[in-house]
């Protein structure tokens, strides 16, 4: 599979010949990027505040709505971050001692661009190499036709 991080495309990477097409009878549930970052800046990978800021920027650039962000710095090193998005999530796990970060970006909706989030993470963490897998998540037809309503707020 050709490894690219597309720039400035309204729907980067989707529709390329290296992405398996979903039949016309199926429904696109989301776009899922699995990103491996190698030879990153070890200090950035170990800086919890930097990782938080970078995830926040990545979500914004992807056109996603950040609902919550949880991070944790491990001793002696490493950071894990999970961004809850209205459209799904971004997660990152870092190993500064190896210059490595494992990233997962899953978004639903036609307005989101998960590869742009990947580009931000690749650039900001100063990775020298990466591996990117792009998947289309299919929504079963029975779910795609169902009407989803939020639960009413309970008052006491």
Which residues are the active-site residues? 88, 93, 108
CB 63 within 8 A of CB 11: no
Phi and psi at residue 155, in whole multiples of 5°?
A: -115, 145
Tokens representing 112? 């989101």
Residue with tokens 């020298």, as numbered in its chain: 128
Which two three-digit tokens encode residue 34?
Answer: 């699995």
Angle at which helices 48-61 and 114-124 cross, to 10°: 150
From CA 85, how far away is CA 118, in angstroms rounded? 15
Give the integer Cα–Cα distance in Å for 90 and 34: 10
């Amino acid at each position: 599979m050709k490894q690219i991080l597309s720039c400035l495309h309204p729907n980067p990477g989707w529709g390329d010949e290296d992405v398996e097409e979903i039949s016309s009878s199926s429904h696109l549930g989301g776009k899922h990027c699995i990103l491996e970052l190698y030879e990153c800046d070890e200090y950035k990978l170990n800086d919890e505040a930097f990782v938080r800021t970078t995830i926040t920027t990545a979500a914004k650039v992807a056109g996603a709505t950040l609902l919550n962000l949880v991070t944790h710095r491990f001793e002696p090193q490493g950071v894990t971050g999970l961004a809850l998005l209205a459209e799904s999530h971004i997660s990152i796990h870092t190993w500064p001692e190896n210059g490595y970060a494992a990233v997962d970006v899953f978004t639903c909706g036609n307005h989101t661009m998960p590869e742009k989030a990947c580009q931000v993470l690749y650039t900001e963490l100063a990775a020298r190499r990466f591996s990117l897998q792009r998947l289309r998540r299919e929504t079963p037809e029975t779910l795609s036709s169902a009407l989803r309503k939020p639960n009413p707020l309970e008052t006491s």
